Amino acid sequence: MSLGKIISISTMRIEVLLTDTNVRVRDIIKTVDFEPENRFEIAEIKGNIAIAIPFGSVIGLRKGVDVERVEGGLSMEYSSEILGKVFDPYGRLIDGNTIANPVVKNVYERNMSLKEIGTNGDILWTGIKVLDFFAPMQKGFKMGLLGGAGVGKTVLIKELIHNVYKYLRSNSVFIGIGERSREGKELYDEMIEGDLLSKMAMTFGQMGENSMARSRAIYAGLTQAEYLRDECRQDVLLFVDNVYRFVQASSEISAELEQMPIDNGYPPTLLSDVAGVEERINSTDNGSITSFQTVFIPADDYNDAAVHAITSHFDGQIVLDRKVAEKGIYPAVNVFRTTSRLIDVEKVGERHYKLVQEVLRYMARYEELEEIVAVLGIEELSKEDYNIFYRSRKLRNYFTQPMFVAEQFTNIPGRFVKIEDVLDDVEAILDGRYDTTDEHRFLFIGNLYDYKQGNRS
Amino acid sequence: MSRHVEELIEQKMADIRTGKNIHETGRVAGVKNYILEIEGLEEVGYFEKVVIDGKAEGYISAIGRNRVYVALTKRSEQIYIGDRVHATGVEFKGVFAPDSLGHIVDMFGVDRMNDMRFDETEDLVIENPPIPIMDRGNVSRPLLTGVTGIDMIYPVGKGQRQLIVGDKRTGKTQLTLDAIVNQKGKDMICIYIAIGKTKKEVKEVYYELLKRGAMDYTLILTAFNDEFPPVIKTTPFLGLAIAEKYMRTGKDVLVVIDDLKRHADVCREIALLTGTVPGRDAYPSDIFYTHARLLEKGCQHKDGGSITILPILETKGGDITEYISSNVISITDGQIVLSTKNFEKGYKPALDYGLSVSRLGGAVQSREMKRVGAVVRRELLAYLEKCEVYELANEDEMSPELRENMRNGKEIRNRLKQYKYSPIPHDEMLHMFDGLVRLE
């Protein structure tokens, strides 16, 4: 039954003159008797006029076209068969598969109460030296991977999928938002090649698709993760690449709705939009969601309002830095900004905690010394500073790591390094036991014991 | 108001049903630069082509409650309030002539060297739907540019999008011309899209390519500096639509877009003029999406063809972290950063090896090239980083190992110098660093 007629059209917004005002925001409407069929989500209602956001291109659309409501709103089908399959942001399969006997659920419905949220979990080692040392991960944590354009976020999240998912083999959900289609396809192909896809559901709303698709992909993926947690009572791994793109898509929609922006064009609802999504990513007593989320830093501006809104939900963050990447140090981690709630004597133990503090002290002094050396030369340093200078450079090189998924760049096979080895090695470097070894030799190795045994290849 | 509209709609719908006045007319009610406000035209479709009484052409850029807006693409005479506007009933499309290879053409199918329209032309939809994720294949075939710093260290593969970014006068366009010239005899189609360039610049590019026999397989698609912004904005999309047409026949296409900063500025101009809420640096909020959907046309298609894109982006003061460039960097599969400092010191091509990235790396190199390239890159970066720290250090006090590193690094850097239009073939490149680097 017709709900009304279209009375205005622009690229990402239409207005509908309602004949039936029994509609709600977030209802889905579609065109009647008009080819190609268009779908829209209602974003705003003012009296008898509704503003709606199109799912696809509006080229050719005309005034006066009738629209009708699609029952159920934006919802998706799921069952235990979602694993191993690929979805679009509207919950439709795009890999040619089908799901038998699905349950249908609205993607916006879930909201968690304080009572059901669980907070405990075991430590989860990733095998990546710099991450395990500076920002250890716990089951149920939300870990952010922050970085500007082109500093290695995607490689790092792929390495995490490789290390964590492959060894844990727990069910996982991957949500690709506003990132490259090429990378999405490559990840999919690699998962199939490695016979790893069977326990992962993937949802893609990539950067070539419109704002609606990119802002809704996260809801589709979350609904799947919640299903695995709540109904299958499982521990779920959730990978989101890239959660910033969700905010970005929301601001595109907000601009179309002519909402007054906060700084840099972000929507006034920025904080509540982010909270609405992030508060759903939590653990209960029945199951957990452990998530790794990449965050793009626009214009390398770490004080960006959206970045702050997102990171305030994290339990830890790994910050990638262009200045580090420039020197060929990968993963390009800025150790000063990288933290985790676990860096606490009671959680990781005194030894680990103290080593982190000591390494940070060395690194901080090194930054100062670098400037002094550039002006005066190394000979002018005191004995103590001289040691700090060289040991810091060795530590910095030691925290590089050959990654499994980056073998095509480095030509060195990846290494999984145990945290005990990292602690031993760091302690040894700090104690000066490697003072006579050239700094060059610490680059892109696993642990020092293996390296000394000549197992570098 | 809405009651009035409702009646109007009902009236028009009734007209349509009785077959009356399908291609209707409206009148110009307002003129704001190249954006017209039109009264009437109740039945036009979004993005439909319209004609203003033989004076001008344009497309529907927005349909309001009681006005429609037209963005002009062509104008031969001044437009007055009250001029009649005719709907055409067809979508606004670009024109493509199969014979345009070897020529400088615009989006209307006109050869700009003689201002004649090609005899045989076809209308081309300006923007096709995105290429589905499942239709993409792996980017793995190398696209050789003949430039050592690129082919060996930051390689480009067929289907890759590799940004060329740097200040004015650092050799950005030159690198892409080198790449085009090196495609000779390799069964590639090249499309050079000039966005908001001066006529002189485009003509120079044409003669450079012509001189080297590269126009045989190259098409220059241009929207000059003084054309209407809606034309400058849509031209690169048409360029990619042409590329897609070739790709669908199994061809490999190389597209150069020169440059995206100008494109972003044009988008900003149009957005501000039409009252869009401004975002960061006053660019429209969807500027990322605009560039993303343009560059996402670049791909290795599962059916064999490919589109490789080398977008160019001009920066100021060497700042690649600025909004538009960091956006585009986050879209492309890597970036070649060119630095003024290197250019002035004579290290040409002026690549900044620390800031440049190829996200595909060895995946688009031959096995031997990957083997040599990985080591050369690591040695070079280590050298550049040490340079900063040990600049003042006494060479005699360095460990022998460090001294050798430093000497080799310097030599690697020198051997990467290369004059324009002097491509080095793949096999020769492999031996350029013999004796300098230890292969593992």
Q: What is the pLDDT of residues A179-214, one digit of tens each?
A: 999 989 988 998 888 888 888 999 999 998 989 999
What average pLDDT score do residues A367-372 get? 89
A75-343 and A348-452, same CATH topology: no
Active site residues of A: 153, 179-180
Q: Phi first, then psi: what are they for A2, rounded to 5°?
A: -65, 140
Contact status, residue B131 vs residue A208, Cβ threshold 8 Å: yes
Class of domain A75-343: alpha beta
Per-residue pLDDT of chain B (440 residues; tens, 9 = 90+): 467 767 767 776 666 565 555 457 899 999 999 999 999 888 899 999 999 988 999 999 999 888 899 999 999 999 999 999 999 889 999 999 999 999 999 999 999 999 999 999 999 999 999 999 999 999 999 999 999 999 999 999 999 999 999 999 999 999 999 999 999 999 999 999 999 999 999 999 999 999 999 999 999 999 999 999 999 999 999 999 999 999 999 999 999 999 999 999 999 999 998 888 888 899 998 899 999 999 999 999 999 999 999 999 999 999 998 999 989 999 999 999 999 999 999 999 999 998 898 888 888 999 999 999 988 998 898 888 888 777 667 777 777 878 888 888 999 999 999 999 999 999 999 999 888 887 76
Q: Which segments of B210-269 are extended strands (E)?
A: 218-223, 252-258
Q: What is the pLDDT of residue A331?
A: 92
B positions 205-264 inside 8 Å of A (CB): none
B positions 272-331 inside 8 Å of A (CB): 276-280, 284-286, 288-289, 292-293, 296-297, 299, 321-323, 326-327, 329-331
Q: A69 vs A3, A22, A30, A433, CA distance in Å?
A: 7, 10, 6, 72
Task: Flag whether pLDDT at A391 surpasses 90.
Answer: yes
Q: What is the DSSP annotation of B303-351?
A: TS-EEEEEEEEE-STT-TTSHHHHHHHTTSSEEEEE-HHHHHHT-SS-B
CATH number, domain A348-452 = 1.10.1140.10
Helix (H) or strand (E) segment spanning residue B61? strand B56-63
Task: Flag whether pLDDT at A217 surpasses 70.
Answer: yes
Q: What is the pLDDT of residue B16?
A: 58
Q: Assess B405–A contact: CB distance below 8 Å, yes or no.
A: yes
Q: A107 vs A215, A224, A305, B120, B361, CA distance in Å?
A: 12, 9, 26, 51, 39
Contact yes or no for A328 and B64 at CB 8 A: no
Q: What is the pLDDT of residue A170?
A: 85
Distance separating the N- and C-terminal Cα atoms of chain A: 69
Quick: pLDDT tens for A309-342. 999 999 999 999 988 988 888 899 999 999 999 9
Q: How far is A129 from chain B (nearest CA, A)?
A: 20
A99 class by beta-carbon count within 10 Å (0-12 exposed, 13-18 middle, 19+ buried): middle
Task: Flag whether pLDDT at A455 surpasses 60.
Answer: no
Phi-psi sector, B34: left (phi>0), alpha (psi -120 to 50), beta = alpha
Residue among B286, B389, B394 with most chain A CBs within 10 A, to mutate: B286
Quick: pLDDT tens for A58-117. 888 998 899 999 888 888 888 888 899 999 998 889 988 888 878 888 888 777 888 887
Which chain A residues are Cβ-neighbours of B375 within 8 angstroms? Answer: 411
Per-residue b or e along A28-42, where b marks 16 or more CB atoms closer than 10 Å to that residue's CB: bbbbeebeeebbbbb
Say how far apart CA B150 and CA A152 lie, in whole Å.
Answer: 19
What average pLDDT score do residues A271-290 get? 91
Contact yes or no for A440 and B401 at CB 8 A: yes
Task: Flag whether pLDDT at A1 surpasses 80.
Answer: no
B120 class by beta-carbon count within 10 Å (0-12 exposed, 13-18 middle, 19+ buried): exposed
Task: Flag whether pLDDT at A451 surpasses 80.
Answer: no
Q: What is the pLDDT of residue B159?
A: 95
Q: What is the pLDDT of residue A191?
A: 86
Copy the structure tokens of residue A234. Answer: 């499982």
B5 class by beta-carbon count within 10 Å (0-12 exposed, 13-18 middle, 19+ buried): buried
Contact yes or no for B132 and A58 at CB 8 A: no
Q: What is the DSSP annotation of A311-373?
A: HTT-SEEEEB-HHHHTTT-SS-B-TTT-EETT-SHHHH-HHHHHHHHHHHHHHHHHHHHHHHH
Q: In percent, how much of chain A has pLDDT > 70?
A: 99
Say how far apart CA A329 and CA A324 lie, in whole Å.
Answer: 6
- Angle at alpha carbon of residue B263, lines to B262 and B268, rounded to 5°: 95
Question: Per DSSP, what are the bridge partners of residue A250?
Answer: none
Q: What is the pLDDT of residue B277?
A: 84
Residue B179, amino acid:
A
Residue A215, amino acid:
S
Say how far apart CA A239 and CA A222 lie, in whole Å.
Answer: 10
Which chain B residues are Cβ-neighbours of A185 within 8 angstroms? Answer: 133-134, 136-138
Copy the structure tokens of residue A212. Answer: 């609606």
Q: Assess B21–A contact: CB distance below 8 Å, yes or no.
A: no
Domain coordinates of chain A in residue numbers?
A: 2-70, 75-343, 348-452
Decide which of A111 and A160 is more confident: A160
Q: Which of A7, A189, A296 faces B5 most closely, judged by CB atoms?
A: A7
Q: B351 vs B339, B340, B413, CA distance in Å?
A: 6, 9, 11
Asked if the peptide bond before residue A331 counts as cis, ω within 30 degrees of 0, the response is yes
Q: What is the pLDDT of residue B2?
A: 61
Residue among A35, A59, A193, A260 with most chain B CBs within 10 A, to mutate: A59
Class of domain A2-70: mainly beta
Residue among B10, B35, B46, B332 with most chain A CBs within 10 A, to mutate: B46
Q: Assess B124–A contact: CB distance below 8 Å, yes or no.
A: no
Which chain B residues are Cβ-neighbours of A49 within 8 angstroms? Answer: 2
- For residue A239, give the 3-state DSSP assignment: strand
Question: Per DSSP, what are the bridge partners of residue A147?
Answer: A296
Contact yes or no for B292 and A208 at CB 8 A: yes
- Angle at alpha carbon of residue A6, lines to A5 and A7, rounded to 5°: 110
Contact yes or no for B279 and A264 at CB 8 A: yes
Torsion of CA A349, A351, A352, A354, to 10 degrees: 110
Say how far apart CA B410 and CA B365 lie, in whole Å.
Answer: 25
> Which residue is associated with the tokens 């292969």?
B439
Quick: pLDDT tens for A5-56. 999 998 889 999 999 888 889 999 999 988 888 999 999 999 999 999 999 8
Contact yes or no for A209 and B130 at CB 8 A: yes
Q: What is the pLDDT of residue A269?
A: 92
- Return the DSSP state at A111: -
What average pLDDT score do residues A414-431 get? 94
Contact status, residue A247 vs residue A271, Cβ threshold 8 Å: no
Size of interface A-B (CB pairs under 8 A): 224
Say how far apart CA A325 and CA B356 lie, in whole Å.
Answer: 10
When the pLDDT of each residue in chain A is averaged and rounded to a whole number, the result is 89
Say how far apart CA B124 and CA A92 lie, in whole Å.
Answer: 30
Residue A164, amino acid:
V
Contact yes or no for A7 and B382 at CB 8 A: no
Q: Which of B277, B360, B399 faces A265 most closely, judged by CB atoms?
A: B277
Distance separating the N- and C-terminal Cα atoms of chain B: 77
Say how far apart CA A73 and CA A391 lie, in whole Å.
Answer: 60
Contact yes or no for B326 and A5 at CB 8 A: no
Q: Which of A9, A210, A211 faces B63 most closely, judged by CB atoms?
A: A9
Q: Name the residue in chain A with its Cα closest to that of B389.
A: A374
Contact yes or no for A63 and B42 at CB 8 A: yes
**How many Cβ atoms sit within 10 Å of the Cβ of residue A176?**
30
Say how far apart CA A311 and CA A308 lie, in whole Å.
Answer: 5
Asked if the peptide bond before residue B230 counts as cis, ω within 30 degrees of 0, the response is no
Contact yes or no for B129 and A206 at CB 8 A: no
Q: Which sign, positive or negative, has the C-alpha torsion B55, B57, B62, B65?
A: positive
Q: Which of B295, B274, B91, B65 is nearest to A58 (CA)?
A: B91
Domains and their CATH numbers in chain B? 2-91 (2.40.10.170), 95-365 (3.40.50.300), 369-430 (no CATH)
Q: What is the pLDDT of residue A453?
A: 72
